[in-house]
Amino acid sequence: TVSDQGTHTAQFNLSHRITAFSPPVLQSVNETLQTIPPPEIPMTDIEMRLLTQLNPQHFNVQSPINLKALRILTDTHPNRPFIEYIIKGIRHAFASYIANKLKNSCMCGPFHEDNPPCDFFQTNLCGLVEKKHTNPTAYHIISHLSSPPDNSINDRIDKLEFGTKYENVNHVITLVKWQKISPEARLPKARTLS
């Protein structure tokens, strides 16, 4: 109807005024431009001992990341040390004590606390969440790395050094508005079913 078109035009004009001065920015992408990869740190005695105790047969993981495609997509990224760190980390693991990570897994077991696979062993809760739009029904495995409180895996991670920041809904709305008023803008969307 005419009134719907008028409302749409008014909304378009308002969003254009809001975003006309500068395009929206993906802060997480911009941060990769100056990010300095962490230094490679030699294994501690404890890590060396752990490495000798872990049974490689307990682990078996395949990365869903297509490294060849990632290399192509990041070929022109200006921060080459950061990109090489990420690619090397995916290919060979992100720490030297887990050099066999490609053929090993982050999770293994089940193990019983009375008979752990190594001296330094911590358990955390796991759960299943049903995936939407799957037939037959499939599930996500959720590993509660923030449990137990004050003694979890996440509690041992330095928040300042390894903080994570996600884009929020308002930012996505701004990106969608920008795409509508800028024909050259592209807004990709991806959904994984694995």
Look up tokens 């047969």; give the residue.
Answer: 57
- Percentage with pLDDT > 90 across the chain: 0
Give the pLDDT score at 171: 75
Cβ atoms of 181 and 12 closer than 8 Å: yes
Q: Is the pTM of this model over 0.75?
A: no
Cβ atoms of 137 and 131 closer than 8 Å: yes
Residue 101 has pLDDT above 50, yes or no: no
Look up tokens 């009375």; give the residue.
Answer: 114
Give 92's contacts (C-beta < 8 A, 6+ positions apart).
Answer: 99, 101, 102
Segment holding 139, helix H or strand E? strand 139-143
Residue 34 has pLDDT above 70, yes or no: yes
Considering only CA atoms, which of 13, 62, 52 is closest in space to residue 181? 13
Q: How far apart are CA 132 and CA 129, in angstroms?
A: 9
Tell me the average pLDDT across 3-32: 61
